[in-house]
Chains A and B, each alone.
Chain A
Amino acid sequence: EVQLLESGGGLVQPGGSLRLSCAASGFTFLNYAMSWVRQAPGKGLEWVSVISGSGTGTYYADSAKGRFTISRDYSKNTLYLQMNSLRVEDTATYFCARAYSMSSELDYWGQGILVTVSS
Protein backbone atom coordinates (compact mmCIF):
# COMPACT_ATOMS: atom_id res chain seq x y z
CA GLU A 1 0.00 0.00 0.00
CA VAL A 2 1.35 3.39 -1.00
CA GLN A 3 1.76 5.69 1.99
CA LEU A 4 3.03 9.26 2.22
CA LEU A 5 3.42 10.82 5.65
CA GLU A 6 4.37 14.45 6.08
CA SER A 7 6.04 15.87 9.19
CA GLY A 8 7.94 18.94 10.33
CA GLY A 9 5.20 21.52 10.23
CA GLY A 10 4.37 24.02 12.93
CA LEU A 11 4.48 27.66 13.91
CA VAL A 12 7.39 29.81 12.74
CA GLN A 13 8.04 33.53 12.75
CA PRO A 14 8.29 35.55 9.54
CA GLY A 15 11.80 35.29 8.16
CA GLY A 16 12.34 31.92 9.80
CA SER A 17 13.04 28.50 8.35
CA LEU A 18 11.38 25.09 8.45
CA ARG A 19 12.10 21.73 6.85
CA LEU A 20 9.22 19.50 5.88
CA SER A 21 9.65 15.77 5.43
CA CYS A 22 7.54 13.23 3.56
CA ALA A 23 8.21 9.58 4.39
CA ALA A 24 7.28 7.30 1.50
CA SER A 25 6.51 3.59 1.62
CA GLY A 26 4.81 0.90 -0.43
CA PHE A 27 6.53 1.69 -3.73
CA THR A 28 9.98 1.99 -5.30
CA PHE A 29 10.87 5.55 -4.35
CA LEU A 30 13.51 5.96 -7.06
CA ASN A 31 11.00 5.28 -9.83
CA TYR A 32 8.71 8.23 -9.09
CA ALA A 33 8.83 11.99 -9.21
CA MET A 34 7.53 13.79 -6.15
CA SER A 35 5.80 17.12 -5.73
CA TRP A 36 4.89 19.51 -2.94
CA VAL A 37 1.50 21.20 -3.19
CA ARG A 38 0.11 23.66 -0.66
CA GLN A 39 -3.30 25.00 0.27
CA ALA A 40 -3.79 28.22 2.20
CA PRO A 41 -6.74 28.20 4.61
CA GLY A 42 -9.96 28.32 2.64
CA LYS A 43 -8.12 28.58 -0.69
CA GLY A 44 -7.36 26.32 -3.64
CA LEU A 45 -4.43 24.08 -4.42
CA GLU A 46 -1.12 25.71 -5.32
CA TRP A 47 1.78 23.72 -6.70
CA VAL A 48 5.11 24.47 -4.99
CA SER A 49 7.85 22.25 -6.41
CA VAL A 50 8.65 18.96 -8.13
CA ILE A 51 11.71 16.71 -8.19
CA SER A 52 12.43 13.93 -10.67
CA GLY A 53 12.78 10.30 -9.67
CA SER A 54 16.56 10.49 -10.08
CA GLY A 55 16.73 13.75 -8.18
CA THR A 56 18.57 15.47 -11.00
CA GLY A 57 15.66 17.64 -12.10
CA THR A 58 13.82 20.19 -9.98
CA TYR A 59 11.31 22.94 -10.72
CA TYR A 60 9.73 25.58 -8.53
CA ALA A 61 6.72 27.84 -8.55
CA ASP A 62 7.66 31.51 -8.75
CA SER A 63 6.49 31.96 -5.15
CA ALA A 64 9.00 29.35 -3.97
CA LYS A 65 11.98 29.98 -6.21
CA GLY A 66 15.04 31.19 -4.34
CA ARG A 67 13.54 30.49 -0.93
CA PHE A 68 12.53 26.81 -0.99
CA THR A 69 14.65 23.77 -1.86
CA ILE A 70 13.25 20.35 -2.70
CA SER A 71 15.40 17.26 -2.19
CA ARG A 72 15.14 13.53 -1.56
CA ASP A 73 17.04 10.88 0.38
CA TYR A 74 16.89 7.43 -1.19
CA SER A 75 18.38 5.69 1.86
CA LYS A 76 15.46 6.96 3.92
CA ASN A 77 12.79 7.02 1.18
CA THR A 78 12.07 10.56 2.23
CA LEU A 79 11.23 13.75 0.38
CA TYR A 80 12.13 17.13 1.85
CA LEU A 81 11.18 20.76 1.44
CA GLN A 82 13.56 23.25 3.02
CA MET A 83 11.73 26.54 3.43
CA ASN A 84 13.71 29.69 4.20
CA SER A 85 12.75 33.36 4.52
CA LEU A 86 9.20 32.36 5.33
CA ARG A 87 6.41 34.86 4.87
CA VAL A 88 2.95 35.14 6.36
CA GLU A 89 1.54 34.21 2.96
CA ASP A 90 3.34 30.84 3.12
CA THR A 91 0.86 29.78 5.79
CA ALA A 92 -0.83 26.68 4.39
CA THR A 93 -1.28 22.95 4.60
CA TYR A 94 1.53 21.34 2.63
CA PHE A 95 0.91 18.07 0.82
CA CYS A 96 3.47 15.77 -0.75
CA ALA A 97 2.31 13.79 -3.77
CA ARG A 98 3.66 11.08 -6.05
CA ALA A 99 3.82 11.19 -9.83
CA TYR A 100 5.16 8.74 -12.38
CA SER A 101 7.05 11.60 -13.99
CA MET A 102 7.33 15.32 -13.37
CA SER A 103 4.68 16.02 -16.00
CA SER A 104 2.21 13.28 -15.09
CA GLU A 105 -0.74 13.12 -12.73
CA LEU A 106 -0.37 13.16 -8.95
CA ASP A 107 -1.71 9.72 -8.14
CA TYR A 108 -1.14 9.50 -4.39
CA TRP A 109 -1.17 12.27 -1.80
CA GLY A 110 -0.18 12.52 1.83
CA GLN A 111 -2.62 13.84 4.41
CA GLY A 112 -0.84 17.17 4.65
CA ILE A 113 0.96 19.14 7.34
CA LEU A 114 0.12 22.63 8.55
CA VAL A 115 2.70 25.41 8.44
CA THR A 116 1.79 28.65 10.17
CA VAL A 117 3.94 31.72 9.69
CA SER A 118 3.08 34.34 12.26
CA SER A 119 4.67 36.66 14.78
Chain B
Amino acid sequence: SYVLTQSPSVSVAPGKTARISCGGNNIGSKSVHWYQQRPGQAPVLVISYDTDRPSGVSERFSGSISANTATLTISRVEVGDEADYYCQVWDSSSDHVVFGGGTKLTVL
Protein backbone atom coordinates (compact mmCIF):
# COMPACT_ATOMS: atom_id res chain seq x y z
CA SER B 1 0.00 0.00 0.00
CA TYR B 2 1.04 3.58 -0.61
CA VAL B 3 2.95 5.30 2.19
CA LEU B 4 3.33 9.02 2.93
CA THR B 5 6.22 9.98 5.19
CA GLN B 6 6.28 13.15 7.30
CA SER B 7 8.80 14.36 9.85
CA PRO B 8 7.26 14.11 13.33
CA SER B 9 8.02 17.69 14.30
CA VAL B 10 9.13 21.06 13.02
CA SER B 11 10.01 24.08 15.15
CA VAL B 12 10.13 27.67 13.99
CA ALA B 13 10.30 31.13 15.53
CA PRO B 14 7.44 33.58 15.07
CA GLY B 15 7.76 35.56 11.87
CA LYS B 16 9.93 32.97 10.18
CA THR B 17 9.06 30.44 7.48
CA ALA B 18 8.07 26.84 8.24
CA ARG B 19 8.38 24.09 5.68
CA ILE B 20 6.65 20.76 6.25
CA SER B 21 7.49 17.95 3.89
CA CYS B 22 5.58 14.87 2.78
CA GLY B 23 7.42 12.12 0.95
CA GLY B 24 5.98 9.39 -1.21
CA ASN B 25 7.00 7.28 -4.17
CA ASN B 26 6.34 9.33 -7.30
CA ILE B 27 4.09 11.65 -5.29
CA GLY B 28 4.42 14.20 -8.07
CA SER B 29 1.99 12.10 -10.09
CA LYS B 30 -0.71 12.40 -7.43
CA SER B 31 -2.78 15.26 -6.03
CA VAL B 32 -1.73 16.19 -2.51
CA HIS B 33 -3.99 17.80 0.05
CA TRP B 34 -2.94 19.34 3.39
CA TYR B 35 -4.88 19.65 6.63
CA GLN B 36 -4.28 21.64 9.81
CA GLN B 37 -5.51 20.20 13.10
CA ARG B 38 -5.32 22.31 16.22
CA PRO B 39 -5.51 20.51 19.59
CA GLY B 40 -9.00 19.24 20.34
CA GLN B 41 -10.39 20.34 16.98
CA ALA B 42 -11.34 18.73 13.71
CA PRO B 43 -8.94 18.93 10.77
CA VAL B 44 -9.26 21.87 8.40
CA LEU B 45 -8.28 21.80 4.73
CA VAL B 46 -5.54 24.37 4.05
CA ILE B 47 -4.16 23.30 0.64
CA SER B 48 -5.81 21.17 -2.04
CA TYR B 49 -4.46 19.77 -5.31
CA ASP B 50 -0.84 20.49 -4.40
CA THR B 51 -1.03 24.28 -4.51
CA ASP B 52 -4.64 25.53 -4.28
CA ARG B 53 -5.65 27.53 -1.23
CA PRO B 54 -9.32 27.21 -0.24
CA SER B 55 -11.33 30.32 0.36
CA GLY B 56 -10.70 31.73 3.81
CA VAL B 57 -7.25 30.20 4.26
CA SER B 58 -4.48 32.71 4.88
CA GLU B 59 -2.24 33.51 1.92
CA ARG B 60 0.67 32.71 4.21
CA PHE B 61 -0.06 29.04 3.45
CA SER B 62 1.26 27.66 0.17
CA GLY B 63 2.01 24.28 -1.34
CA SER B 64 4.52 22.90 -3.80
CA ILE B 65 5.43 19.52 -5.20
CA SER B 66 8.31 17.74 -6.87
CA ALA B 67 8.82 14.19 -8.05
CA ASN B 68 8.94 12.58 -4.62
CA THR B 69 8.16 15.33 -2.11
CA ALA B 70 5.28 17.66 -1.43
CA THR B 71 5.86 20.68 0.77
CA LEU B 72 3.57 22.89 2.81
CA THR B 73 5.11 26.30 3.42
CA ILE B 74 3.86 28.68 6.09
CA SER B 75 5.27 32.19 5.80
CA ARG B 76 5.48 34.71 8.63
CA VAL B 77 4.56 32.05 11.14
CA GLU B 78 2.23 33.05 13.99
CA VAL B 79 1.62 31.45 17.36
CA GLY B 80 -1.84 30.48 16.12
CA ASP B 81 -0.29 28.27 13.43
CA GLU B 82 0.87 25.83 16.09
CA ALA B 83 -0.90 22.60 15.16
CA ASP B 84 -0.52 19.18 13.59
CA TYR B 85 -0.34 19.12 9.79
CA TYR B 86 -1.25 16.13 7.65
CA CYS B 87 -0.74 15.45 3.97
CA GLN B 88 -3.18 13.20 2.11
CA VAL B 89 -3.52 11.58 -1.30
CA TRP B 90 -5.84 9.19 -3.09
CA ASP B 91 -4.09 5.96 -3.98
CA SER B 92 -5.79 4.80 -7.17
CA SER B 93 -4.04 1.41 -7.12
CA SER B 94 -5.81 0.44 -3.90
CA ASP B 95 -8.76 2.88 -3.98
CA HIS B 96 -7.74 4.13 -0.56
CA VAL B 97 -7.42 7.55 1.02
CA VAL B 98 -3.92 7.77 2.51
CA PHE B 99 -2.74 10.16 5.22
CA GLY B 100 0.79 10.96 6.23
CA GLY B 101 1.71 10.41 9.86
CA GLY B 102 1.45 14.11 10.66
CA THR B 103 3.92 16.83 11.61
CA LYS B 104 3.63 18.80 14.82
CA LEU B 105 4.52 22.44 14.23
CA THR B 106 5.85 24.18 17.31
CA VAL B 107 6.18 27.95 17.32
CA LEU B 108 9.03 28.80 19.65
Contacts and interface: CB of A to CB of B under 8 A. Distances in A.
B45 A44 contact: no
B42 A95 contact: yes
Contact of B35 (A35, A102, A106, A112): A106
Given A47-B96, A47-B99, A107-B54, A102 B90 contact: yes
B98 interface: yes
Contacts of A47: 96-99
Interface size, B (range): 20 to 34
Interface string B1-21: 100000000000000000000
A30 interface: no
Interface of B: 1, 31, 33, 35, 37, 41-45, 48-49, 54, 84, 86, 88, 90, 92, 95-102
Interface in A93-119: 95, 97, 102-107, 109-112
B102 A44 contact: yes
Q: Which among A35, A44, A61, A110 has the greatest number of chain B C-beta atoms within 10 A?
A: A44
Nearest to A61: B96
B90 A44 contact: no
Contacts of A46: 99
29 contacts: A37-B43, A37-B97, A44-B86, A44-B99, A44-B101, A45-B37, A45-B86, A45-B99, A45-B102, A46-B99, A47-B97, A47-B99, A50-B97, A59-B96, A61-B96, A103-B31, A105-B31, A105-B33, A105-B45, A105-B48, A106-B33, A106-B35, A106-B43, A106-B97, A107-B48, A109-B42, A109-B43, A110-B42, A111-B42
What secondary structure prevails in chain A residues at the interface with B?
strand
A44 B33 CA distance: 15
A103 B92 contact: yes
